[in-house]
Amino acid sequence: MRVYISADMEGIAGVITWEQVEETGGEEYNRFRRLMTDEVNAAVKGALDAGAETIVVNDGHGKMKNILIESLNPKAQLINGAPKKLGMLEGINRGFNAACFIGYHARAGSSGVLAHTINDIVRRLQVNGKDMGELGLNALLAGYFGVPVVFVSGDQVLGNEAKKLLGDVEIVIAKEALGYHMARSLSPKQVRKKIMQGFTRSLRRKNLKPLVPPTKTTITIEFNSPIQAAAANIFPGSQRIDAFTVTFTCNDYLKAYQGVRSMIYIADNWR
């Protein structure tokens, strides 16, 4: 069995501020990158207990160099660094049996801790008219390669997104979001135990199927400012529908995924 793990940071137990997840946070950041590594290791242990033979971990947060490789379970392989063509799912392919999303956060415009979608310049993002965050975008990309997302961890807002999108998926709630910068969190040790046991349990199930992406995909991005929308509209094939909003339609979800990431990266130069 080959298992893919995508790791973010905002959904890790105890995280409530940007200082804790950005390099400029100093010791606070270093403390939480250790906790991020610990939660990833819990998922790796869960996969091994379920019989996984190959485990690939992709560091999907920020500049994607947060996980401490010297502390990572040596039976796992790490993909880190940026930019990545497939972003938070770099390295995924049809050879994987299952995917796990660790430390994910809720979408932009929701009530989750540090809720956003790819970048804080995005006010709202939709896929074929449905509000979508990183969880949904990445789950659809995993589905594009025939890989089911069987496990998710983060706050309860992220958990509700997962239930609506993925159905009967295994979810570990690491903390209860009480505000953008506030949460009631379980202890890191308890969260790690839940991740390990939950991921093992999910990998032993046989009934989860990939989230199939639509044949025709329209991505709609509402930015915080008109200049960001104008910049995103430089991307070939995009259309600007009002001062703040740009759309992009494609018949291949992989190209749509790469298109939306490219538009946001272009727009980020115009804060």
pLDDT confidence band for 132 (50 / 70 / 90): very high
Quick one: 191 and 231 in the same domain?
A: no
Same domain, 149 and 256: no
Residues 86 and 160 in one domain: yes
Is residue 128 in some structural domain? no
Q: Give the C-alpha separation, 55 to 47, whole Å.
A: 8
Residue range of the domain that includes 232: 217-267
Helix, strand, coil percentages for the chain (3-state, nearest 5): 35, 25, 40
Query: Both 222 and 199 in a single domain?
Result: no
Total domains in the chain come to 2
The DSSP string of 12-67 is: STT--SGGGTSGGGTHHHHHHHHHHHHHHHHHHHHHHHTT-SEEEEEE-STTS--S
**102 in a domain, yes or no?**
yes
CATH classification of the domain holding 65? 3.40.50.10780
Catalytic residues: 116
- What's the chain's length in residues? 271
pLDDT of residue 159: 98
Examine the domain organization and report whether 89 and 163 are in the same domain.
yes
**Statement to judge: residues 192 and 221 lie in one domain:** no
For the stretch 204-237, pLDDT in tens is 998 889 999 999 999 999 999 999 999 999 999 9
d(CA 135, CA 117): 9
pLDDT-based confidence at residue 271 (cuts at 50, 70, 90): confident
CATH number for the domain that contains residue 222:
3.30.1360.130
Do 166 and 228 fall within a single domain?
no
Q: What is the pLDDT of residues 35-64, one digit of tens each?
A: 999 999 999 999 999 999 999 999 999 999
Reference 41, options 71, 14, 84; nearest CA is 71
| Bridge partners of residue 125, in order along the sequence | 221
